Structure 1
């Protein structure tokens, strides 16, 4: 059986089953972008395969309504996905299941966030560039179609930010604050190997409160990849949840640090 990518989450394997349809071009190309699509239906992984068994189409991956991932085409191969020869050669295509049908074509948070994370992995492990507006596309970038749908158009900024965060984590680098993140006082210290009184204060608070997820030396005041996890753990102790506990020292985190006995 042809193996799937070495992802850190389960990837269901439909590569050989789709290859048997003949709707794959087994020729390798250098990939330089990722393109997101929608199913135009609420399809399971098996449902996607069933459609492609009779319809001459394919894509590298599909993400279902729960965020689970399946692979159909080897990453470096040509998928019949974007209606454009150059695009099919250069892009990695990821399909997404819809939550609702026309006219909104909405996609669940679980689905698009999983797709963005998968895109970030490919940018880190295959493409070698950070996601940006010049390399993370929707299907309509390549051909005349509304895919990935009006809902996905509305949230492109969130999708890009999630892909960038995933890329940073897979590369082992501290996350880069987005443009709308208000920098914390002393942000000029936000570099590995430079001392930061903000991070030192965070360390002292973590030790004082016995944070059991604290993973760095209690006396350290160096910003490094390990401290991203420490800062995220500290944010969780202050009540931040989900994406807000991202390990990025923002203004709201700094404000809470100033409040005694938080």
Structure 2
């Protein structure tokens, strides 16, 4: 799809079989962002024919350089097994994308571990990657597609 810059808001009309997570993925945004823009309290309830705001007009830098998302911290950063709120936010996004099975009932935590790697490998596979490109170690392209929002209290990828 490439990066996009819009000069006006973009809308989408829900069709049978749509899910909010599928729409979010299609328009390179997050379920949470769609909920906020469209005042949706339950992300599991959308209706056929519903008109959804899927992209806000931007005048600045094109996505994925959007300052509301964590920039790729570099592949080597993950191999240091960091503990960071960025890791937890990444995990929450992976759950939204349907790749959270590895976390089990506990959900994602802030320490990089094999569960995060398994969930990320699922996401890479969902993007169509295979072999060493779906090994669970984040790369810039897949990271930009995941669109990890900054943690509420701010963060530092260092």
Q: Calculate the TM-score normalised by the size of structure 2.
A: 0.38
Q: Select the structure of larger CA radius of gyration.
A: 1
Q: Calculate the TM-score normalised by the size of structure 1.
A: 0.25
